[in-house]
Chains A and B, each alone.
Chain A
Amino acid sequence: MPRDHLAALESESIYILREAFNRFASLAMLWSIGKDSTVLLWLVRKAFLGHVPFPVVHIDTTFKIPSMIEYRDMVAREWNLRLIVARNDQALEAGATFPEGRATRVECCSRLKKDPLQRVVEQGGYTGVIVGVRRDEEPTRAKERYFSPRNQRMEWTPTQQPPEFWSQFNSEFPPGTHVRIHPLLHWTELNVWEYIERERIPVIPLYFDDGTGHRYRSLGCAPCTTPIASTGRTVSEILAELKAVRTAERSGRAQDRESEDAFENLRRDGYM
């Protein structure tokens, strides 16, 4: 066992990232600008000795909170990222979005996030896509594998997942399949913040109270994401708050709860 639980989590993630890099000829990583995929980016730089050896994809719904874009471009410059920004301009122009247009929250997520992702994967010919989801975020993600296949239409079949054990990850699938790689799957929200504290990772300031008594606990599109009441101004204050809190991390994310199986269906269709 490595020295402590964060070192163990880190080590497992690095192993998975290196395995992905070795097994897939064409790899990309999704970066949502949020804390998880930023921590993941940090781990990538550790795994690859200071480099980010594949493109980083940001799915821009254009409804993102404006300071996210500034932060994104700054980090991309600093860490020398090959940044790909993906957008569904067609849906945006047609106004088929939530809340103004004719779309439910879930349909909007599907159009503005899942569809552009599918296009990036197809155009880039990526066979492996690294995503920073975690099991404790949400129950269908808890069912995920580290290497999780998606068929040609990007669909996930959660009831028929291949076995995965002893650090042997499936990387060979029929042509047309792409594999989602989830190096953070075993981390919890608390672990992510503990690691941010220990490594002093620069996360976007939206996670901290800006003096209004509110902060974002989970970041999404402005219309579907609400900040929580919190006066957490520093990482250690957030850690103290998380240790006491009993609400769900994604409680500020409205698309998760449109119906009992809304989010599962979204994920089956290829949502991250």
Chain B
Amino acid sequence: MDRLRLVIVGHVDHGKSTLIGRLLLDTGSLLEGKYEELQAVAERRGVPLELANLTDALQAERDQNVTIDTTQVWFRTPRREYVLIDAPGHRQFVSNMVTGAAAADAALIVIDASEGIQEQSRRHGHLLRLLGIEQVSVVVNKLDRVEYSGARFQEVAAGYLDFLARLGIAAKAAVPVSALHGDNVAARSRNTDWYEGPTVVDVLEAFEMPRSQAAGPLRFPIQDVYRFDERRVLVGRIESGSVAAGDRLLFLPSGSQGTVKTVERPQADGDQSVAGDCIGVTLIEPLFLSRGEVASRLDDAPIHTQQFTARVFWLGRRPLMIGRKYRFKLVTQECEGEIVRLTGVVDVSTLQPVAAGDAMTADCVGDVTISTRQVMVLDLFERVHALGRFVIVDDLEVSGGGIVLSAAADTAIAEPASTNIARTVGQVSRDERHARHGHRGAVVWFTGLSGAGKTTLAYALERGLFNLGWRPFVLDGDNLRFGLTADLGFSAIDRRENIRRVAEVARLFAHAGLVVITAFISPSHADRERARRIVEQDGAGTPFLEVFVSTPLEVCEARDPKHLYAKARAGEIKEFTGISAPFEIPQHPDVAIDTSVISRERAIMILLDYLVPRARYRHEEE
């Protein structure tokens, strides 16, 4: 039987626990004697019967009539089983609300019709969004307190639906309810004859079961490595995708590759293990891997980086501070790091921006840039939920959480593997070389789709500069793959390494005083950015010009000089940029040239006009 987990959230005292009690009571889900028990307690204490006491199990909760911690109760309809998660609405217990809500597949937000939208109504809506809960409906409760006014219901419901819409949540329904009296909970109420929509139970039944992640990219984080019975078994849970014997896996951050020999599963049905399964994997190769590595397919690896941006919510007692050391836990990885930037801080109860400065308090949500000491393996939250969210630990306490918005994949420049090396400086200065050549060293970096005209333009520019008496040299992608990068393929990692080597060679040639012209598809913004950083790292002011050859895909495909598009369309080439792999369009190129509308001669004029003044040698500036 399917099991749907539903969290009930909302402001304190708006009737969440009472609604749960009512749901249990009116669907006949209460255990025998439970109701009588409540009656007896109410009589003994001389207070009205409290349905909320069914879930408010702690004495402190019953004494204060407030839910302190989240709890779960079960109930069943003929269709499926529900786990109702009661979440506290008091501001002080937001971390308990998060604990409850993060486990849910769907949410009901309860709003008191007489009090209307309150601080926690908004905060909880916001947190649901960050927790990735997409199915939300609204319950406007305590209609009995507003004489079952349809106008008041409309007012409260419309106001809150509008708020949710601003957060990007499209609520499924809004139901007018009195949990105390049972109106529209399990059965339609005569008190609201103006309402024709679903009851709360109808709303529950209409929620969809969570989608399987089996079709996503493979993400298998290693939880532990067991050496029982003389075998090395990598255990963990598949967070996305599927895996089977014979699969070739890439492990990040180590970059090791291995082939699956066996998959050990708790259930012996079928031959594939899919997202959600806890498995053990043995490999053919004796690789040394440990907790924290993430396995993926070679052609669809996660991002590995030491810097990423995220939207975070904060639960800590101390504010979140720029520069303070935190530990970040993401699936089975754990890494120390710090917040280096904090922007877009919003008070979640008002949605108003807050001038945060260097710190963010627990009432806020903000966008941060996180810099970690080691490489972390992750995905954007929108792509793979499980690899795109993390918790933040302050000292020993889990104090916040976040979702990954963007990751400047790794633009870091490689650190030397050896520490026994030092840079040396020769006797011929850069300036002397520039003076002799009449121009500085420079890098012109062409980027664009295959067939866009990069190589043609690169050689034409080389000829143009050469005719001016300059010293240009073209590094062409295909040519280098015969030598310098002959060991590399076209996986994401290999492409990245390819670009890194090219950038390093370009830097050396530029140092030697040449104008280096590169012609690589270089589809990744991060790789191009890294190339720029490599060239600019020595601070000599070497010009780095990014030239985007923006010829449209249709034109490139029609040209297809190497018949690669035809092969990619036929599925013979996988991961082909523009067809089956993305091209990240440069946001701020120095020059953009569409060769389908601009002639080669005109293009070279534009490039020379741009480049020559920037690279011409002028004695006074050196």
A residues neighboring B (CB under 8 Å): 1-3, 5, 7-8, 10-11, 14-15, 18-19, 21-22, 46-51, 53, 135-136, 139-140, 142-143, 145, 158-159, 161-168, 170, 172-174, 186, 188, 246-248, 251, 260-261, 264
Contacts and interface: CB of A to CB of B under 8 A. Distances in A.
A114 B224 CA distance: 32
A1 B210 contact: yes
Nearest to B5: A186
B59 A264 contact: yes
A5 B228 CA distance: 29
B58 A164 contact: no
Contacts of A140: 57-58
A165 B223 contact: no
Interface in B206-260: 209-210, 212-214, 223-224, 226, 228-229, 233, 235-237
A5 B71 contact: no
A130 to B, nearest CB: 16
Contacts of B102: 165-166
B95 A158 contact: no
A227 to B, nearest CB: 17
A186 to B, nearest CB: 8
Interface stretch (B274-282, B518-526, B542-550): B274-282
Given A49-B228, A142-B71, A161 B96 contact: yes
Given A18-B278, A168-B398, A260-B41, A1 B57 contact: no
B212 to A, nearest CB: 5
B223 A143 contact: no
Contacts of B389: 166
Nearest to A22: B224
A263 to B, nearest CB: 9
A138 to B, nearest CB: 8
A105 to B, nearest CB: 18
Contacts of B59: 260-261, 264
B566 interface: no
Contacts, number: 146
B610 interface: no
Interface in B15-37: 30-34
Contacts of B277: 2, 7, 11
Interface centre among B58, B68, B103, B393 (most CB of A within 10 A): B58
B71 A166 contact: no
Contacts of B71: 135, 139, 142-143
Contacts of B237: 11, 15
A15 B275 contact: no
Interface residues of B, number: 69
B178 interface: no
Interface in B42-101: 54-55, 57-60, 68-74, 81, 83, 95-96, 98-99
Contact of A18 (B73, B235, B390): B235
B72 A135 contact: yes
A230 B597 CA distance: 86
A2 B59 CA distance: 38
A187 to B, nearest CB: 10
21 contacts: A1-B210, A2-B277, A15-B237, A49-B226, A50-B228, A50-B229, A53-B228, A136-B74, A142-B55, A142-B57, A161-B69, A162-B95, A163-B95, A163-B315, A163-B398, A165-B401, A170-B396, A246-B30, A246-B32, A247-B32, A264-B59
Contacts of B286: none
A269 to B, nearest CB: 14
B26 to A, nearest CB: 15
Contacts of B278: 10-11, 14-15, 18, 47
Interface of B: 1-3, 30-34, 41, 54-55, 57-60, 68-74, 81, 83, 95-96, 98-99, 102-103, 131, 209-210, 212-214, 223-224, 226, 228-229, 233, 235-237, 264, 266-267, 269-270, 274-278, 280, 291, 315, 329, 331, 386, 389-391, 393, 396-398, 401
Given A50-B228, A142-B55, A158-B58, A165 B266 contact: no
Contacts of B69: 143, 158-159, 161
A55 to B, nearest CB: 17
Contacts of B276: 1-2, 7-8, 11
Nearest to B291: A22
Contact of A5 (B2, B229, B391): B2
B229 A165 contact: no
A15 B267 contact: no
Given A143-B57, A246-B32, A264-B57, A162 B73 contact: no
B58 A248 contact: no
A246 to B, nearest CB: 4
A143 B70 contact: yes
B49 to A, nearest CB: 15
A51 B228 CA distance: 8
B512 to A, nearest CB: 51
Given A10-B267, A142-B72, A172-B393, 14 more contacts: A2-B276, A7-B267, A10-B266, A47-B278, A136-B72, A139-B55, A140-B57, A143-B71, A161-B99, A163-B398, A165-B401, A168-B398, A172-B396, A264-B57
A246 B31 CA distance: 5
Contacts of B99: 145, 161, 163-165
Nearest to A243: B76
B58 to A, nearest CB: 6
A138 B382 CA distance: 38
A159 B98 contact: no
B510 to A, nearest CB: 46
B437 to A, nearest CB: 57
Contacts of A247: 31-33
Contact of B274 (A2, A21, A161): A2
A28 B281 CA distance: 26
Nearest to A17: B278
A140 B390 CA distance: 29
A85 B73 CA distance: 34
Contacts of B131: 165
Contact of A48 (B33, B95, B228, B236): B228
Contact of A3 (B226, B233, B235, B267): B267
Nearest to A247: B32
A50 B228 CA distance: 9
Contacts of B226: 48-49
Given A135-B72, A159-B68, A18 B223 contact: yes
Contacts of A165: 98-99, 102-103, 131, 391, 401
B60 A159 contact: yes
B239 to A, nearest CB: 9
A168 B223 CA distance: 12
A264 B396 CA distance: 27
A163 B102 CA distance: 10
A113 B86 CA distance: 31
Nearest to B40: A260
Contacts of A48: 226, 228
B223 A49 contact: no
B60 A49 contact: no
A172 B395 CA distance: 9
